[in-house]
Amino acid sequence: MSLFWSVIRQLAEIEAMATSKKVITRDEWEKKLNDVKIRKEDMNKLVMNFLVTEGYVDAAEKFRMESGTEPDIDLATITDRMAVKKAVQSGNVEDAIEKVNDLNPEILDTNPQLFFHLQQQRLIELIRNGKIEEALEFAQEELAPRGEENQSFLEELERTVALLAFEDVKNSPVGDLLDISQRLKTASEVNAAILTSQSHEKDPKLPSLLRMLLWAQNQLDEKAAYPRITDLFTATLEDPAV
Amino acid sequence: MPGSASTTHRPEGLIERLRSAAADGGEAKLKVLRELKNQIIGNRTKKLSYIKLGAVPSVVSILSSASSSVDCLLIQCAATIGSFACGVDAGVKAVLDAGAFPHLINLLSHSNEKVVDAGARALKMIYQSKAAPKYDFFQHKNIEFLISLLDKNNENVTGLGASIITHSCETNNEQKILADAGVLKKLINLLQGTTSQRDASLESFATIIKQNPEVITKFVGPENSTTFGSLLELTKDRYPRTRLLACICLTLIKNATSSSSSSSSSSSYLQSVGIRTKLILVLLELVDDFGQVGDEALFTLSSFIEHEEDLQKLAFEANTVDKLCHQMQKESLQAKRLEGIFTTLGNLCSNLEPCRSIVLQSPKALIIITDALTHTTTDVRVAACICLKNVSRSVKYLSAGHFMTEAVIMPVIQLLYDASTSVQVAALCTVSNLVVDFRTHKSLFIQSGGVKQLVELSKSMDSTVRLNAVWALRNLMFLVDSRCKEEIFMDLKLFPLTRLISDSNACVQEQALGLVCNLVNGPVDSIMYLFTEGLLLNTVGRELRRASKPQVLVQAMYVMCNVASGKEFEKEAVMQQLVNEDDNNQSIIVTLLQSDVASLRTAVVWTVVNLSIPTGAGALTRVVKLRNAGVVSQLKNMVNDPCLDVKLRVRTALGQSMTFGDFST
């Protein structure tokens, strides 16, 4: 009898331990965090990686001089890459294509999808500027052969040419192509391709570190109450809610 | 003035300006070259039309006459030439014909790194085409040059070196020369470099080790564990193409070493179940990519599991079959993808019944496979057909008549008429399987006109086609009813059959004799086929005296054995073939009883058993003849034959011959 009850009591205790969260105070937490060592050079590299990937060339140059952190690619290529990106964003697609080809002729020669999207953007710009005849000729001569080579290109081409069919293009089902977001999409595709050709990752590492931090906190929330960071901007530790 | 921008880009106008720039020189060159380059990059149609208009020689002549100090002109020339060569074989040919090669090589030693880049890129493009000339590795200075390329600290130059290897290294000797020159080591070092260096190195690494156990044992063995470790590490790389190439290298290492004679070192390659499973999972994940990487991942997976049932089990446990069955239902799959799916499924179903079950229970899978039998691409038809063959190895579904439906049989028969030999052979193998074991369902195949085409193919000049056609006929004849037998025999006819029995290819002979065996098996009247004009039995008897391949002799002897199970007339006919009293040489029966091959001895003893059955008018005479020919005393030597089957039948035969008393005293 007594054994039975003691077993039941033990089980209840285990149950309680499983459901109630462990509480970690701010002091304990800060102590733990202080034990984690982070090298200064690693921090600098992360910052440099962010500046390089996002294309802040002047800042990167300054940061290189002040911190002595060497970027993993030639900073001059950032200028070139940003010039390409800017050209697409402002609708000068032909200019962008020439710049990419000067940078590395392999990029567009070995990436048919990117090449098609740039040519498509060129067509969109011609239509936007009301150069209808030129647009038609361009679609016929430059884009139609790509459509013959690839079914999905053909579908995209048909959608783009449909821009010519609507009087009120903005409110048509293909109106999104004229939107500025289409330019940004194309620009970021070119940007990523140039970065890849330079063996550089197309996304900076800092955002993924922060994503990982938020994810880890969410995992930990299920098991413990601790000072968590909710506001990434200030990165302040908030007292655990008990 | 509409379309002004486009009209100045018209090829004819640009070509005109290019020609005059090449002739006059001056500032115009650079501008027109750049314009041409920007016209053709990424644009196959334009490349072809400019090649046709003769643009390439003009560009090359600008390059050849350019002073080495005008860097930007050199760069534009090289870039334009490189683009002409990129992805267009006609472009590579035009570039080589125009004599660009030596000029591009010169650029590699230029002091400006950008010029070197441009030259190396152009040469790399050339070597990425099949139309490029083969690089001669047997010349020492060429190997030196190649190594100097791999040593450069420039990714385009090392990439060029790797491309040369990938393009030109084909034979085992070439692989050995490169490995001995230390190229593998250099490639491994390049794995630490940029993405493009890594991929290019992995690709040429694969080229050097492909099907070459000697090179692998020497350079990639466990003592070079870092190489092996690097490859394993790269299967987790961020880039799919890199992961794929690492898997390809590991698959080549495993396949080359496991197929080579069971050397002790082979056991150390990729034996860990953990690593094997990991590799399968990596490849399976890559299969989700619907581009080239995914296609190649399928073929790599297929070759990784091809000859090992254990690996097929691991792949099965990783849900490969479900995944592929699901994937094949997708609309408008490319030919390469379909081929990959069918090849991998075919491999999985070659041994494992659970795999076959999943395919057969998966909705529409069998329909999709049979539909693919009429696909326009030859390789897809072959792959689908082999897949169907292996799925139909399921005895359970086969004997349930699952495949003898018009939906399956008609397209397979159609493939027997295919223009491609590889399709015909695959179809014959499939037919062989489908017709093997279901009495009631065979008539559909016969009624659908399949036999006529099988007979036609059994006359093929190609011995593989002939072999598989006879094989299919043999299986079709297995346990078939008398009516079907007659129909098949009518189509086959006597004379072609005798010719197949005497075929120059022993494998064909074996199948043809197996076919005769199945023909005379069963009801006693079946034996009559052999006596039509007395030809067939004579032919079989002649092969028994002439053939040397044991399998042929076994089949021929079983024909005799089946005939000897008949009545007096048939028994006597067999006696005439096997025991010739006028001949002073040793009887063929005795010779064959002395064979080393147990299955042959079994067949002979069975025949003697049938001949010495003590009932029938001629029984005594036959036993006496056998005794006189030395058969009985030979049997007495065999009462303790190592083969149990032989031993038992020898005792039966001796017992029967004793019934008439022992004349030996």
**pLDDT, tens digit, for every residue of A112-163?**
999 999 999 999 999 999 999 999 999 998 899 998 888 889 999 999 999 9
pLDDT band at A5 (very low <50, low <70, confident <90, very high): low
Across-strand partners of A23? A225
Cα first-last separation, chain A: 38
**pLDDT, tens digit, for every residue of B288-318?**
998 899 999 999 999 999 988 999 999 999 9
Average pLDDT, chain B: 87
- Number of cross-chain residue pairs from A and B with Cβ atoms under 8 Å apart: 55
Residue B273 CA to residue B262 CA, distance in Å, equals: 19
Do residues B176 and B142 make contact, with C-beta atoms less than 8 angstroms apart?
A: no
Across-strand partners of A115? none
Average pLDDT of span B111-134: 94
Q: State the pLDDT at residue B440.
A: 62
Q: How far is B552 from chain A (nearest CA, A)?
A: 55
Nearest to B650 by CA among B593, B596, B599, B586: B593
Structural tokens at position B546: 């002439």
Do residues B358 and B345 make contact, with C-beta atoms less than 8 angstroms apart?
A: no
**Set of chain A residues whose Cβ sits within 8 Å of the Cβ of B5:** 134
**Set of chain B residues whose Cβ sits within 8 Å of the Cβ of A141:** 6
**Sign of CA pseudo-dihedral B471, B472, B478, B480:** negative
Nearest to B471 by CA among B417, B425, B406, B522: B425
| Candidates A101, A109, A155, A190, partner chain B, best to mutate (most B CBs within 10 A) | A109
> Under an 8 A CB cutoff, do B42 and A112 touch?
yes
Pick from A98, A108, A141: CB nearest B6: A141
Q: State the pLDDT at residue B380.
A: 96
* Chain B residue at shortest CA distance from A136: B3
User: Has the ipTM of the complex gone over 0.95?
Assistant: no
Place of tokens 């290189």: A64
- CB-neighbour burial class of residue B440 (10 A; exposed 0-12, middle 13-18, buried 19+): exposed
Across-strand partners of A224? A22
| Candidates A72, A84, A106, partner chain B, best to mutate (most B CBs within 10 A) | A106
3-state helix, strand, coil in chain B (%, to 5): 75, 0, 25
Low-confidence winner among A86-95, A128-137, B205-214, B483-492 (lowest mean pLDDT): B483-492
Residue B530 CA to residue B580 CA, distance in Å, equals: 20
Residue A45, pLDDT above cutoff 50: yes
| Candidates B1, B6, B35, B75, partner chain A, best to mutate (most A CBs within 10 A) | B6
Q: Would you call B335 an interface residue with chain A, using a CB distance cutoff of 8 Å?
A: no
Pick from B6, B34, B196: CB nearest A137: B6
**Set of chain B residues whose Cβ sits within 8 Å of the Cβ of A98:** 34, 38
B positions 75-114 inside 8 Å of A (CB): 79, 82-83, 86-87
pLDDT band at B7 (very low <50, low <70, confident <90, very high): very low
Q: State the pLDDT at residue A92.
A: 96
Residue A1 CA to residue B542 CA, distance in Å, equals: 95
> Under an 8 A CB cutoff, do A134 and B45 touch?
no
Structural tokens at position A45: 């590299």
**Set of chain A residues whose Cβ sits within 8 Å of the Cβ of B121:** 105-106
Average pLDDT of span B147-165: 94
Pairing of strands A237-238, A228-229: antiparallel
**Sign of CA pseudo-dihedral B382, B385, B390, B393:** negative
Cα first-last separation, chain B: 123
Q: Would you call B6 an interface residue with chain A, using a CB distance cutoff of 8 Å?
A: yes
Average pLDDT of span B413-418: 91
Average pLDDT of span B382-406: 86
Q: State the pLDDT at residue A183.
A: 95
Do residues A190 and A97 make contact, with C-beta atoms less than 8 angstroms apart?
A: no
Structural tokens at position B207: 């080229």
Q: State the pLDDT at residue B4.
A: 43
> Under an 8 A CB cutoff, do A112 and B5 touch?
no
Query: Which string of b and e fits B641-665 if b means at least 16 CB within 10 Å?
Result: bebeebbebbbebbebbeeeeeeee
Share of chain B above pLDDT 90, in %: 50
Q: State the pLDDT at residue B464.
A: 92
Q: How far is B243 from chain A (nearest CA, A)?
A: 16
Residue A190, pLDDT above cutoff 50: yes
Q: How far is B147 from chain A (nearest CA, A)?
A: 23
Q: State the pLDDT at residue B147.
A: 95
**Sign of CA pseudo-dihedral A45, A48, A52, A53:** positive
* Chain B residue at shortest CA distance from A198: B194
**pLDDT, tens digit, for every residue of B269-284?**
778 888 999 999 999 9
Determine phi and psi for A229, rounding to 5 degrees: -100, 115
Q: Would you call B195 an interface residue with chain A, using a CB distance cutoff of 8 Å?
A: yes
Q: State the pLDDT at residue B267.
A: 47
Do residues B40 and B83 make contact, with C-beta atoms less than 8 angstroms apart?
A: yes
**pLDDT, tens digit, for every residue of B374-393?**
999 999 999 999 999 999 88
Q: State the pLDDT at residue B1.
A: 39
Share of chain A above pLDDT 90, in %: 58
Do residues B219 and B261 make contact, with C-beta atoms less than 8 angstroms apart?
A: no
Q: State the pLDDT at residue A68.
A: 93
Residue B172, pLDDT above cutoff 80: yes
> Under an 8 A CB cutoff, do A101 and B37 touch?
yes
Across-strand partners of A225? A23
Cβ contacts of residue B486 below 8 Å, gap of 6+? Answer: none
Rg of the Cα trace of chain B?
Answer: 34
> Under an 8 A CB cutoff, do B43 and A111 touch?
no
Share of chain B above pLDDT 70, in %: 93
Q: How far is A100 from chain B (nearest CA, A)?
A: 10
Query: Which string of b and e fits B349-375 if b means at least 16 CB within 10 Å?
Result: bbebeebbbbbbebeebbebbbebbeb
Residue B417, pLDDT above cutoff 60: yes
- CB-neighbour burial class of residue A15 (10 A; exposed 0-12, middle 13-18, buried 19+): exposed
**pLDDT, tens digit, for every residue of B191-250?**
988 888 999 999 999 999 999 988 988 887 666 678 888 899 999 998 999 999 999 999
Q: Would you call A138 an interface residue with chain B, using a CB distance cutoff of 8 Å?
A: yes
Pick from A98, A141, A199: CB nearest B38: A98
Residue A170, pLDDT above cutoff 90: no
* Chain A residue at shortest CA distance from B42: A109
> Under an 8 A CB cutoff, do B42 and A115 touch?
yes
Low-confidence winner among B146-160, B547-561, B609-623 (lowest mean pLDDT): B609-623
Residue B536, pLDDT above cutoff 90: no
Do residues B404 and B434 make contact, with C-beta atoms less than 8 angstroms apart?
A: yes
Question: Could you tell me how many residues make up chain A?
Answer: 242
Q: How far is A142 from chain B (nearest CA, A)?
A: 8
> Under an 8 A CB cutoff, do A97 and B196 touch?
no
Average pLDDT of span B337-344: 96
Do residues B502 and B539 make contact, with C-beta atoms less than 8 angstroms apart?
A: yes
Residue B190 CA to residue B176 CA, distance in Å, equals: 20
Q: Would you call B153 an interface residue with chain A, using a CB distance cutoff of 8 Å?
A: no
pLDDT band at A3 (very low <50, low <70, confident <90, very high): low
Q: Would you call A105 an interface residue with chain B, using a CB distance cutoff of 8 Å?
A: yes
Q: Would you call A192 an interface residue with chain B, using a CB distance cutoff of 8 Å?
A: no
Residue B24, pLDDT above cutoff 80: no
Cβ contacts of residue B461 below 8 Å, gap of 6+? Answer: none
Q: Would you call A137 an interface residue with chain B, using a CB distance cutoff of 8 Å?
A: yes
Residue B216 CA to residue B184 CA, distance in Å, equals: 10
**pLDDT, tens digit, for every residue of B566-605?**
888 888 888 888 887 666 677 888 888 999 999 999 999 9
